Amino acid sequence: MKPILFHLATLLLAPLAALPAADTRTTPAKPNILWIVMDDVGAELPCYGKQPIQTPNIDRLVREGTRFDRAFLTASVCSPSRSAMITGMYQTSIGAHHHRSGHGTAKIHLPAGVEPVPAIFQRAGYFTSNGDYPAKAKRVGKTDYNFEWDAKIYDSSDWATRKPGQPFFAQIQLWGGKNRNDTGRWHREVAPKALGTLTKPEAVTLPPYYPRDPVFLEDWAQYLDCIRFCDLQVGEILRRLETESILDQTIIILMGDNGISQARGKQFLYDEGIRTPFIVRGPGIARGAVRGDLIEHIDMAATSLAWAGLPVPSWMQGRDIFAKDCQPREAVFAARDRCGETVDRIRSVRTEQFKYIRNFHPQRPLLQPNNYKDTKPFMPRLRELHAQGKLNPLQEEILFSPSRPAEELYDVRADPFETRNLAGDPKFRATLQTLRGRLDRWMVETHDGGPESEQVYDANVADELTNPANKGSKEAIMKNVELMKQWTRENK
């Protein structure tokens, strides 16, 4: 394929609170380190703003640890996000930026010297594990890395089999928002038993660019129940650590891998897609602290190595955000590329106040055909409401304009839902130029990998079609592939 140029997740950002002193407990020389990763969960947690749900176990982590209010992902879909997470590198720097790439015949290899973080921990004597929760046949939990890697970097799916006294580096994967994808079965059968009462759709508050329609309200209510279920699982994990008398020897990070799977969330670079919860608890971590500095999810790789007393490799782009000499980030960056069969290329840079987005395919609509998204219940309904003329002007403009601006600029402090594009406003010309230049430099300095070739695209689509989840969607996927290629021929 020829190269072409082209919420609730954005709640009002809380002000930086006064930071309490660090935890006075002694940090173990080799603490256990546990990453709890929630799938398809953004910042719609009560600790980040008012919600019609309660999450007492996550709130406990907040009380006993440090909450980051401005934490962002470098990618808005799982496989690029997780590829970046596990290496501490921008996915665009390691060639892993196209969703679910490298699984077929077109393999991706990490740059020389770069390796997944578990391999570094393992060499240092740590027991490494990665498991889905609840465990699925004791197999290694979700990885979804786009590059070639050695399965031996994980000793097990659980830390239970480590040697006595051996420290562990563990990941626990929670299915999070994906629970609501199972044809409604989870919400009908599992959620009522686990949660008792379910969230009422009428209690939900939606971002202004979504219609207050029963399908959207029900979907968002189910999403909030998925978060409640995550909270129950976090409570079970904390109780296990307490039962094993290792809670106070373990540093925990709770985060998401991408934002809510909704029309303008997952797969896009608005805050609904890339803002993530990021909560840290453990020995040496300030209790009840709220930090407002900008961080990226790749920072937790470097931070975790530092906690273990291990040197942070020079190739790693993440930072130790708890280092005494850590320089706060002035900006955070993110990228979206091909998702499934749908070709796109978007880059963004976000400061505390402004978000700049560059669309490399501005002649294509925001909601391009995409089999993954179009099989969700909200997308057919959204397209139906559009066809019936039942969306308001803002919703029509945001979601159904036939093209996109090449550049978008938002004052995220004044406009947290990113609905007013300031890129053409003369009053913000200086800000636009500054962020445009900052993004240009980042792309050059980090060696942004750019678009796929047509041959690699074809290979990755062929692999997508082998996925059992796509068994009944082959015709729709191939129709979308032909549209992608047609638009490419038209330089669209």
Residue 182: the pLDDT is: 67
In a domain? residue 259: yes
Residue 138: the pLDDT is: 76
Asked if residue 196 and residue 310 are part of one domain, the reply reads yes
Asked if residue 269 and residue 146 are part of one domain, the reply reads yes
Residue type at position 379: M
Residue 26: the pLDDT is: 56
Distance (Å) of CA 209 to CA 7, 77, 235, 364, 454: 8, 21, 34, 19, 34
Asked if residue 106 and residue 229 are part of one domain, the reply reads yes
- For the chain, what is the total number of helices (H) and then of strands (E)? 14, 13
The helix (H) or strand (E) run that includes residue 133 is strand 127-133
Asked if residue 305 and residue 190 are part of one domain, the reply reads yes
Residue pair 173/37 in contact (Cβ under 8 Å)? The answer is yes
Asked if residue 367 and residue 252 are part of one domain, the reply reads no
Cα dihedral 353, 356, 357, 362, rounded to 10, equals 130
| Distance of alpha carbon 275 from the chain centroid | 7
For residues 277 and 72, what is the distance between their CA atoms, to the nearest angstrom? 8
For residue 76, what are the domain limits? 32-330
Helices (H), 244-315: 271-274, 299-307
Asked if residue 104 and residue 193 are part of one domain, the reply reads yes
Mean pLDDT for each consecutive 10-residue tract of the chain (492 residues)? 34 35 60 98 98 98 98 98 98 98 95 98 98 85 97 97 97 96 85 97 98 97 98 98 98 98 98 98 98 98 98 98 95 98 98 98 98 94 98 98 98 98 98 98 98 96 88 90 97 95
Asked if residue 345 and residue 220 are part of one domain, the reply reads no
Residue pair 2/279 in contact (Cβ under 8 Å)? The answer is no
Of 277, 296, 330, the last residue of a domain is 330
Of 330, 362, 377, the last residue of a domain is 330
Residues 360-364: contacts with CB within 8 Å, 24+ apart?
360/4, 360/5, 360/6, 361/4, 361/6, 361/404, 361/487, 361/492, 362/6, 362/403, 362/404, 362/405, 362/406, 363/403, 363/487, 363/492, 364/403, 364/404, 364/487, 364/492
In a domain? residue 12: no
Asked if residue 402 and residue 420 are part of one domain, the reply reads yes
Residue pair 255/403 in contact (Cβ under 8 Å)? The answer is no
The tokens for 143 are: 């990885």
In a domain? residue 26: no
Asked if residue 395 and residue 320 are part of one domain, the reply reads no
The tokens for 423 are: 């890129």
Residue pair 204/67 in contact (Cβ under 8 Å)? The answer is no
In a domain? residue 347: yes
As for how many domains the chain has, the answer is 2
Asked if residue 346 and residue 254 are part of one domain, the reply reads no
In a domain? residue 99: yes
In a domain? residue 16: no
| Distance of alpha carbon 435 from the chain centroid | 23
For residues 80 and 102, what is the distance between their CA atoms, to the nearest angstrom? 11
For residues 352 and 332, what is the distance between their CA atoms, to the nearest angstrom? 9
Asked if residue 115 and residue 43 are part of one domain, the reply reads yes
Of 297, 330, 363, the last residue of a domain is 330
In a domain? residue 73: yes
